[in-house]
Amino acid sequence: MNSGDTAFMLIASAMVLFMTPGLAFFYGGLERRKNVLNTMMSSFFIMGLSAAMWVMIGYSLSFSGNVGGVIGNLRHFALNGIGKEPGIYSDNIPGLVFVSFQMMFAIITPALITGSVAGRMKFKALFIFIALWSLIVYYPMAHMVWGKGGFLGEILGSVDFAGGNVVHISSGVSGLVLSIILGKRKGYNKELCWTHNIPFVLLGASILWFGWFGFNAGSALAADGLAAYAFMTTNTSAAFGMLSWIVIETIEDGKPTIVGACTGAVLGLVAITPGAGFVPLWASIIIGIVVSPICRFTMSKVKHHFGYDDALDAFGCHGVGGIWGGIATGIFANQSMNSSIRWNGLIYGDFHLFLAQVISIVITIVVALVGTIICAYIVKLFTQLRVSDEDETVGLDESQHGENAYPSFDFLD
């Protein structure tokens, strides 16, 4: 066991946890003034719910035992048998440190979904949905990709360094499906919905960028060269994602925006996540440059064509960005970067990894789609999914929480 690696992983865990409040500011700034508290609360409460579930059953179902390559068992219920000694997933850090690091992923992943349904979902319904979704979608996905005997990771041979499938594609697709089930917001495409606090967006994006170093570099599970490499690919992709968006926005709209720059940076971070420790540094430049036009096209043209109301573009950013990142990993990954992968990427003349990546993405989409539908209809047995028209008009801050973020701005939203 290594004290330096342990300290590094504890810091990385704290950085990933900090991303969830960052997401709350990012989403909260993008939403309308009358819904900002509800939007931020929709991320913040998950820090309690998901952490509690992770300690009781989440870790065990994700990382203990193996049932058909799909899910774990309850051998480590309430973290029974997990302590200061190294676990089976890393021999250089205590088992509880690995539990803590993975817990932060289990917290932020369902929080990403809330961006798709902002402005019209009942808080009670969202609370129940997140609990069910963690159980039905997240824990199986974590086991299939990262768990011992997992179908996608160990049997199929696909790779996901820090959560392209587990975090971004699963949450993005689930957000899209849930937004379609809920229906569009009142006045969608008929009323102007102003981004109410751009400084919040910048603050949130900055926190996310900072925390993402823990997210990706920490996935090396050691303070070593691989962590340093993942750190650099992460920052490089974010930088080129931002620059790519700024250039496109300037060409198309005549001027760059803060919201656009923040969006491009986050897209670069999303896209590099599955391949951060597998692809060469030069490939992270391509990944960052390409993700912005793909996702911008989805957020504007595709979304407009099909008419779905992905309120804060969780699918357009995380779903599509994660899909591109997974495919790009299958194209550019190289065993010289990380010997744990079975094959080189497509660009080196081997199609096996690329095919495995595509299959894993399709399976992730199916699991998220079916799982979300199941969760939504179970929630409907207990409560309506959507707030009333009156509550939506008043705003979810007031109707769901009895609070007002800006009392002096009444009647201006």
Burial of 402 (0-12, 13-18, 19+ CB in 10 A): exposed
Which band of pLDDT confidence, cut at 50, 70 and 90, is reported for residue 413? low
Cα angle at 266 between 233 and 24, to 5 degrees? 130
Question: Would you say residue 27 lies in a domain?
Answer: yes
Return left, alpha or beta for 112; rule: phi > 0 is left, psi -120 to 50 is alpha, else beta.
alpha
Other C-beta atoms closer than 10 Å to the C-beta of 74 total 13
In 3-state terms, what secondary structure has residue 1? Answer: coil
Residue 286 has pLDDT above 70, yes or no: yes
- In terms of residue numbers, what domain contains 333? 3-397
The token duo for 113 is 């979904």
Domain count, the chain: 1
Question: Would you say residue 409 lies in a domain?
Answer: no
Question: Would you say residue 412 lies in a domain?
Answer: no
Question: Would you say residue 303 lies in a domain?
Answer: yes
| pLDDT tens digits for range 39-60 | 999 999 999 999 999 999 999 9
pLDDT averaged over the chain? 95
Cα angle at 61 between 20 and 369, to 5 degrees? 65
Long-range contact pairs involving 122-126 (C-beta distance under 8 Å, separation at least 24): 122/383, 122/384, 122/385, 122/386, 122/387, 122/400, 123/38, 123/41, 123/42, 123/396, 123/400, 123/401, 124/383, 125/379, 125/382, 125/383, 125/384, 125/385, 125/386, 126/42
Determine the pLDDT at residue 411. 54
Question: Would you say residue 131 lies in a domain?
Answer: yes
Proportion of the chain above pLDDT 90, given as a percent: 94
Residue 193 has pLDDT above 90, yes or no: no
| pLDDT tens digits for range 12-35 | 999 999 999 999 999 999 999 999
DSSP state, residue 334: -
Determine the pLDDT at residue 409. 64
Q: Taking residues 207-235, report their average pLDDT.
A: 97
* Closest to 116 measured CA to CA, from 17, 238, 23: 23
CATH code of the domain covering residue 311: 1.10.3430.10
Q: Taking residues 216-229, report their average pLDDT.
A: 97
| pLDDT tens digits for range 353-411 | 999 999 999 999 999 999 999 999 999 999 999 999 999 999 999 999 999 998 866 55
Question: Would you say residue 76 lies in a domain?
Answer: yes
| pLDDT tens digits for range 127-159 | 999 999 999 999 999 999 999 999 999 999 999
The token duo for 258 is 């803060």
Question: Would you say residue 153 lies in a domain?
Answer: yes
Question: Would you say residue 408 lies in a domain?
Answer: no
Determine the pLDDT at residue 412. 53
| pLDDT tens digits for range 314-324 | 999 999 999 99
Q: Which of 86-95, 267-276, 280-289 has the lowest mean pLDDT?
A: 86-95
DSSP state, residue 80: T
